Amino acid sequence: MSESRRMRTSVVVVNWNAGGALEACLASLSGERAVADEIILVDNASQDGSVAAARVRAPWAQIIENPANLGFAGGANRGAAAATGDILLFLNPDAQVRPGAIGKLVDAFRAFPRAGIAGGGLVDARGRWQPSAARFGPASHLLLDTTLGRLPARWRRRPYVVDWVYGTFMAVRREVFRELGGFDPSYFCYGEDLDFCHRAARRGVQVIVVPEAQAVHGTSPSATQRFGEGRMAAVVEGELRFYARHGPWTAVVVFRGLAAAKFATKAALAAAAGRVGVAARYASVVRACLSPVPS
């Protein structure tokens, strides 16, 4: 694909009972339609009326309805299969793009011709920085992808190379997505972005973060409904699955040991402070660390 012409962009949003968050997401995309050539909403059998609302509020969106909940990876793959753009941009239904964000994210591919994947910058509803990228190795991920370890990233403004980016707000060159066979659908909700970027890196594809291409990331209503208080444990299970598949057996051992110690310490500190609910959530993560690796 020649980059002397404008790259067409297809936005894919995978929804499952996201309710009002989805409405806000689509409203933010409405103002970006000059650069978002097509917007595809993939619904995973929602029962909250969000699809009906989308048909009224976003008649310009193409809607694909799945008969069952395929998870993020399965839904994203269906959206990508229907997309026609040079760039496939995946956006969570609880995220809202800021004006100009899509254009900045796509334009970064010109500055980084080796880049096949680009993640945007994330902030919360109050404009506070959120992480949008992480490291591959279990030790570096658990010890450096922390509040202190990520301090330098908070002040970066220009695009830079990373190991992997979150699927919350991620753009992928179409040919890269096709060559990799899309997301691995065996990762139902967490770990598919880590797995995807790792497979890309093994092929020499560069992954970048574009801090100025910002999206406001909300409270993940879909994940909260599905996992409840076990959401953090589900994240760990996804990462365990990744290390079991792509790392040496020692990677799983290191991840289990460090993660269990890290979250056990957090659970103890939370319990000592009287934060019983928080302590219980951290304890569930410890149990996930010590459980059999998910298939």
Residue range 163-219, pLDDT digits in tens: 999 999 999 999 999 999 999 999 988 899 999 999 999 999 999 999 999 999 987
Spatial contact of 210 and 166, defined as CB atoms under 8 Å apart: no
CA 51 to chain CA mean position, Å = 22
For residue 281, the model assigns a pLDDT of 93
Distance, in Å, from the CA atom of 121 to the CA atom of 281, rounded to the nearest integer, reads 27
Are 232 and 280 a contacting pair, CB within 8 Å? no
pLDDT tier at 1, thresholds 50, 70, 90: very low
pLDDT of residue 223: 65
Name the least confident of 33-37, 181-185, 221-225, 266-270: 221-225
Kindly write down the DSSP assignment for every residue of 196-258, as one continuous string.
HHHHHHHTT-EEEEEEEEEEEE---HHHHHHHGGGHHHHHHHHHHHHHHHHS-HHHHHHHHHH
Residue 218: its pLDDT value, please? 81
| pTM of the predicted structure, to 2 decimals | 0.94
Whether the pLDDT of residue 156 is over 70: the answer is: yes
The percent of residues in the chain predicted with pLDDT above 70, rounded, is 96
